[in-house]
Every structure is written in C-alpha cells, then in structure tokens.
Structure 1
C-alpha cells in the first residue's frame, strides 16, 4: 500500500510540473490579476458538457476580474474527474490561478469512503456552479423501449455507458437499479459523455444517464432525430421542458428507497458542477473570483452565447455551494452504510 501511495505522489508531482502552477508567494504581493493567466482544469474529456460550460465561462469571466487576466481551459481526465480533484487538493498552489471543474458527486463519495479520494471536500474554496443538473435516462431508439413502465415489466436489460463511480452517468443508474429495479447493465470507464456518445452512436452501448442540460447541447442531434428517447427523469420533481416524461421518485415503493434516491439526486443536482479553488487560497482571491463568476452569469454576451449553444444557466453562488457540500457531509450513518453497498 505504501508503494502505491508513493506512486500516487510521484504522479501528482509530475502533473503539477506539466500543468504549471504560479508562485503563491509572489502573487500575494499583487491583488490584481493583470498579466496573469488563470487555468480552469476540467476533469473530463473535451467536447462533453463540463468542458463546454467551462470554455464558455472562460471566454467571458476574465473581463469581470481586476486586471482582466487571460483564462485558459485544460483537460485532466481520469477516474471520472477524481484525478483533477485530487490534483487541486494536494498539488495545485493556492494562489487564485488554478480553478478546477470536476464532478460534484465525488463529495458524496468521500463520505462513503471510496478508494482513491485524497481530498477533504469542506476544505476546498467554492466559487459557484453555472447551473443545476436534472438527470434523465436516454435509450437508443433501436432498443424499442419508449415507456419506462413497459420497460420495467419486460425486464429487458439495456446496456448503459458510464464514466466512473461518483458521476451521474454511474450513480443515477445504480441507485435506480437498486431502488426501483430498473433493468440495466452499466459499462463504466469512458472518459466523458463525449466518448459515451460515440459508443452510443456506434451501437456499443444503448443507454446513458446524462443531465438534460447537457443532452440538449452536446446530444442535440440524437435527441432531435429521435435516435435517443428520454424515458425517465432521475429527479424528485419534473423539469418544465419534460412534463410528459415520468420522474423516478414516483416509482419508489418505500420511504427508504425515496430517501436513498433523494440523497444521490441531491449530490448530482445542486452541487454537481462546482468550480472550486484549492484549500488555503487567500480569502480576497476567493471573493474576487466568486464575484466575477456571478457577474459572468449575468453578462449579456455570455448569456447570448449560452442560449445559442442551448446551455441552461441557473447559477449557485460560492457561499450556497459551500453550504450544500457541508449538508451532504452530515448524512446519517445508516443511510451512508446502505449507499456504500449500492454505489460500490
């Protein structure tokens, strides 16, 4: 085990040299970002929903920061964005120049004691989220599945593509399989939803759990052509654009099933798209970036771009995001034990 830990440290040190982090001590002497470059490190592959949102924000956020710094987006994939989260916590300098955008479902998985997690979520500094995910389950037209009740009755197993435990592509199908008996097989290990889309279009998998917000943007062709049929909302309440699609919570037959479902959907809703800074980032930098983030969410040019790209904007500020993460960490032990079995 010590050998594996040492290897992990070496990998993180190598990543830090590759991605380059500025000197926190030097930067602390100047509160302006003039002449600096901020890096947003996305934990998933280019072309997926997380990447698309990050790049849209990067194109506009700099003008809302004193000194108008450049903002560059880089991708650091691995283990469903866990590599990037660990990097931010253990390696990245707390100088306000490195922001990470990884899957917020990892916060829940820290509580569940999942292997590989090397961060303590409440110690991060939180900037905000651009929107709240509403997960849906989409299946290929070729499966013949068009109605979730008939699917449950037929017990037809549909193969879903996933990324890793801790992501909505995996956790949402797993919790629905455990609580309402949804007949599916999860094939995990794809680097992002862009790779799952290629597998879906190639017939390698026939289903996906994805946020409706991402589906409308990055899976637009599949949705518009009817190649992907949305059969179930993985939500506790219906999305206004999907009123004819049933919601998963209504299929739960026990109070425990509802509680378990609600916990996972909470982790993959309000907190699932966090923009985060390393622990010990100076508070003045945190406040500058929090304000710039929210100002970007109101920027007319940014909103025009996101409307054109079909990207929903429903932001949460940094203070609220921080509070939501703290709430997840207070989950009662009996439910933690149940979820450990389901999301293993």
Structure 2
C-alpha cells in the first residue's frame, strides 16, 4: 500500500502550466494563496508527520510561493476526510488530501459510508512507499511469529479502520495463518494507537517501518516495541532478520 496524495483538481498539472504562464510575466496563481493539506489522521502520527514535512517545504517549489497548512480531519479510517474532499472542499487548486491508498479499494468492496468516487480524484503522488511491519509490546513475551502462533496468545492490535494496513493486514493474517489476535479498531490515527500501546490498552500494531522510525522512536529505543513480521515481498534492508509474511 502507499500513502495517497489527492486533490480535487489536477494540481500537479496546474503547477506545471502556471510555471509556463509565469514566463509570460503573468502573476503566478499561487502568490498570496494558502494551500490546505487535509490529512485523515490525528496529529503526531506518520501521516501527520509526512504532511507537515511536505507543508514546510512545498511552497518554495511552486511559483508564487504559497503557504501550506495542515488540517487534521481524523475518523473512520480516513473516510471522513476523503468524503470531505469529495463533497465539501472547493475544486480551486487550494486543497490537497492525504489518505491511505487502501481506502480506495474499499469503494470497490462496497464499504458503507463512502460518498466519493475515487476515479474522479486527481492523483499527485505519494511521499513514501510503505513497508508494513507487525510489532508487539515486549510485555506479551512474544519475540517471534513461530512462538506467537504456537503459544496461541491473543494480542490486542490497535487499528484506525477498514482500508488501513493497521486493520486489513492483521485480518488477512488471522484468516490465512490463524494469527491469534483481537483487533481494537476505531482510533483516530496511529498516534492515538501509540498512546494506547504505551498505556497498555493495546499490545501491538501493524504499521509502516517508516512510521515506526519517525514516530515510535521512544518505544523502539527502549525495547518496548518488538518487531515480529514484515508484510513485504522481500526483507527491508534495515530489517534483515525480521521474517516475512
């Protein structure tokens, strides 16, 4: 899965077109403008971190140097923000959405509550390729997948909603290899799952390695987060000893 950046208009094409127009001494469209990035997760998580990093630097690369701001609109596994982008946000080249790519698959699967047509979004790009990893709290005593499966220990995994890797990957693992887990879904973002993890409300999560590195550093460095499985085609160079699903 990838993190999807989408807009209601062809923002990338507009930027390129406006660059050509600015050569004709026309005032750049984005001068004095503010561009909103709508991120469908709570502050402090991986999606929020990516969005704020983009917002900090993007304006320097667009003619007119607009200001970028981040609006967090969490809920229902990114569904609230996606519906807002489609039904409420103006198609004025000033609003960009940051969603999880798996959300659009949910449209094909007929997920209730979807009010958007993913085919009508204009896609700009993705800030990173996600490499998903399953991590558990060391308090579980689990140090590897074989041990987990043989022990039948049920681990409470935090999730943000259907369509996200936090939910979908554990569900697939439970259905295919009998992973003993209980999914506690409905958190507004992985930052909220991290708080629940630290407080003992949940004892694991499926998250991207990139997000773990940037927003779960304390738990990793303290040894509180134990990585047990990679859900990728080949091992990540930084995780050569973690087995593959």
Which range, TM-score by smaller chain? 0.7 to 0.9
Superimposed CA distance per residue, residues 127-175 of structure 1 (whole angstroms, 9 cap, x where no aligned partner) = 1101110111100001000010111111111111111111111011111
The unaligned stretches of length 5 or more in structure 1 are 1-28, 249-344
CA RMSD of aligned residues (A): 1.2
- Alpha-carbon separation, structure 2, partners of 1:247 and 1:107: 26
Among 109, 112, 115, the residue aligned to 1:115: 112
Residues matched between the structures, number = 220
Superimposed CA distance per residue, residues 30-58 of structure 1 (whole angstroms, 9 cap, x where no aligned partner) = 75200110000111000010000100110
Higher strand proportion, which one?
Answer: 2
Among 107, 123, 126, the residue aligned to 1:126: 123
> Do residues 138 (structure 1) and 120 (structure 2) align?
no
- Alpha-carbon separation, structure 2, partners of 1:118 and 1:112: 13
Give matches, 1:234-245, under 5 Å: 234-245=231-242
The unaligned stretches of length 5 or more in structure 2 are 1-25
- Alpha-carbon separation, structure 1, partners of 2:75 and 2:222: 31
- Alpha-carbon separation, structure 1, partners of 2:183 and 2:234: 25
Among 50, 54, 57, the residue aligned to 2:54: 57
Superimposed CA distance per residue, residues 80-119 of structure 1 (whole angstroms, 9 cap, x where no aligned partner) = 1111101111111111100011111111111101001111
SS at match of 1:166: coil
Among 33, 38, 50, the residue aligned to 2:35: 38
SS at match of 2:96: strand
1:197 paired residue number: 194
- Alpha-carbon separation, structure 2, partners of 1:73 and 1:154: 44
Give matches, 1:206-245, under 5 Å: 206-245=203-242
1:236 deviation in Å? 2.0
> Do residues 175 (structure 1) and 145 (structure 2) align?
no
Note if contact 2:75-2:186 (Cα within 8 Å) is conserved in structure 1: no
Higher helix proportion, which one?
Answer: 1
- Alpha-carbon separation, structure 1, partners of 2:140 and 2:228: 12
Superimposed CA distance per residue, residues 53-74 of structure 1 (whole angstroms, 9 cap, x where no aligned partner) = 1001101000111100111111
Q: What TM-score do the two structures reach when normalised by structure 1?
A: 0.63
